[in-house]
Amino acid sequence: MLTPVSAICETLKTQNDFLIVSHAMPDGDAIGSQLGLGLILQSLGKNFRLYNLSGFPDAFSWANPGFSFAQTLAELGNFKPKVCIFTDCGDSLRAGPEMARCLADRTFPLTVSIDHHRENPDFADINLVEPTASAASYLVGKIAKALNIPLKGELGQAVYLGLVEDTGSFSYGNTDADTLAMAAEIVKLGLSVGRFNACLENIWSLERFRFWGKLSSQIQLTHHNSIAYVCVTRKMLDEAGLTAADLSDFASNLRKIRGVKISAVIRENGENRVKISMRSILNVNIQKVAVHFGGGGHKNAAAMEMDGDIAGALQAVLPEMIKAADAAA
Ligand SMILES: [Mn+2]
């Protein structure tokens, strides 16, 4: 029987007309794994398109080899994908309603999922789902290696972007020897770590920095100071001229407070809708909290959305966070 990696390699070699999809509001791993797959298919001489409900984030423009990202299938015109590859999507809803509908209707003859979320139900025809993998882009790197495509140039950079994003620059508990070995291989093949980091990190607006200062003054601590959170209204972001992307990683930084086991950013996300991004330390498992509310993620980084306002979300979520914090005590 074929392993998922060899089944995917066979698919990439023998099929054509691919669509590469990742989750909405893409982070560095979603983008890195999408770009990486595109570059693999490009070197195999295949037809492919990229799709993301939220489009391509400006923050990663330096990593884009010139690929355009469709936000709707209609934008693809006459291109009819025969294989749809989902990357970094923990379930069939993460890429947005249009893709969820396509999966339900079996619009694409063949579907592939490359992912590392714990709750992934193997929703595609071919599933390369490894919850112990540090990043989806690590799995993309494995596929490139299995195809004898070296992790250099833009491909190396795309894979590296996912590794850096999901391991907090090789500092979180999911940073394993395999990840570091792949990163070392990419560096050996020419990636400049310093230049890469300047592209990724040296991009904050002054407004964003000031907003983080304001948010820091509003941190709430609860449950014997083991849970830290901030609440962000749409009005706050609008007044600062910022978007949700400017909050990226605030929750990870909140986790740095001594004694904090769980941190969270609770944010108004549209009309009567709230998004909660959580981080935790060591063996405190917040993925279970996210799944409880229909979201998902990883042991130390997870998120969910719910209807209602911030106060209602807090009331629902805090008891579950407390349970998770105490379960690991
Ligand atoms: Mn990921």
Task: Provide the residue ranges of all domains of the chain, joining segments of one domain with +.
Answer: 4-201, 206-327
Q: Give me the percent of the chain exceeding a pLDDT of 90.
A: 98
Question: Quick one: pLDDT band at residue 102, thresholds 50, 70, 90?
Answer: very high
- Ligand 1 centroid vs 296 CA: distance in angstroms? 11
314 with 321: CB under 8 angstroms? Answer: no
Q: How confident is the model at residue 283 (pLDDT cuts 50, 70, 90)?
A: very high
> How far is residue 68 CA from its own chain's centroid?
19
Confidence at residue 1, expressed as pLDDT on a 0 to 100 scale:
79
Q: What is the pLDDT of residue 148?
A: 98
Tell how far the Cα of 78 is from the centroid of ligand 1, in angstroms.
31
Top-tier CATH class for 4-201: alpha beta
Q: What is the mean pLDDT of residues 235-261?
A: 96
Tell me what pLDDT residue 144 has. 98
Element (H, E) at 306: strand 301-307
Q: Which helix (H) or strand (E) holds 264?
A: strand 262-268
Select from 266, 275, 265 the least CA-distant residue to 307: 275
CA of 129 from ligand 1 middle (Å) equals 11
How much distance in Å is there from the Cα of 224 to the middle of ligand 1?
A: 31
- pLDDT over 80 (residue 222): yes
By three-state DSSP, how is residue 121 classified? coil
Q: What pLDDT does 291 receive? A: 97
Is there a shared CATH topology between the 4-201 domain and the 206-327 domain? no
Average pLDDT score over residue span 244-257:
95
- Report the pLDDT value the prediction gives residue 73, as an integer from 0 to 100: 98
* pLDDT surpasses 80 at 329: no
Please check the confidence at residue 219 and state whether its pLDDT lies above 90: yes
Q: Enter the pTM of the model.
A: 0.96
How close is the Cα of 215 to the center of ligand 1, in Å? 26
> Which DSSP symbol is given to 159?
H
Mean pLDDT in residue range 276-280: 98
- Beta-sheet pairing, 48-51 with 18-22: parallel
Whole-number Å distance between alpha carbons of 174 and 240:
34
Distance 35 CA to ligand 1 centre (A): 14
The yes-or-no verdict on residue 97 having pLDDT over 80 is yes
Q: What is the CATH number of domain 206-327?
A: 3.10.310.30
Q: How far is the CA of 238 from the centre of ligand 1 (A)?
A: 28
- Hey, what amino acid is at 265? V
Which residue has 């063949």 as its token pair?
Answer: 110
Tell me the CA–centroid distance for residue 176 and ligand 1, in Å: 15
pLDDT band at 263 (very low <50, low <70, confident <90, very high): very high
Ligand 1 centroid distance, CA of 17 (Å): 25
Average pLDDT over residues 119-132: 97
Give the pLDDT mean for 89-110. 97
> What are the pLDDT digits (tens) for 43-53?
999 999 999 99
Q: Assess whether pLDDT exceeds 80 at residue 62.
A: yes
Q: How far is the CA of 170 from the centre of ligand 1 (A)?
A: 14
How far away, in angstroms, is 1 Cα from ligand 1 center? 27
Per-residue confidence (pLDDT) for residue 112, from 0 to 100: 98
Provide DSSP, 205-262: -HHHHHHHHHHHTT-EEETTTTEEEEEE-HHHHHHHT--GGGGTTHHHHHTTSTT-SE
The predicted model gives 131-136 an average pLDDT of: 98
Query: Across residues 15-20, what is the average pLDDT?
Result: 98
The DSSP letter of residue 109 is S
Q: How far is the CA of 229 from the centre of ligand 1 (A)?
A: 23
**Mean pLDDT across 77-84:** 98
Rounded CA gap, 88 and 111, in Å?
A: 14
d(CA 26, ligand 1 centre) in Å: 10
The neighbouring-strand residues paired with 222 are 227
Closest CA to 87 of 46, 47, 48: 48
CA 204 – ligand 1 centroid, Å = 22
How many whole angstroms from 117 Cα to the centroid of ligand 1? 7
The pLDDT mean for the chain works out to 97
Phi/psi-derived region of residue 193, left when phi > 0, alpha when psi is between -120 and 50, beta in every other case:
alpha
* Residues 156-194 pLDDT 10s: 999 999 999 999 999 999 999 999 999 999 999 999 999
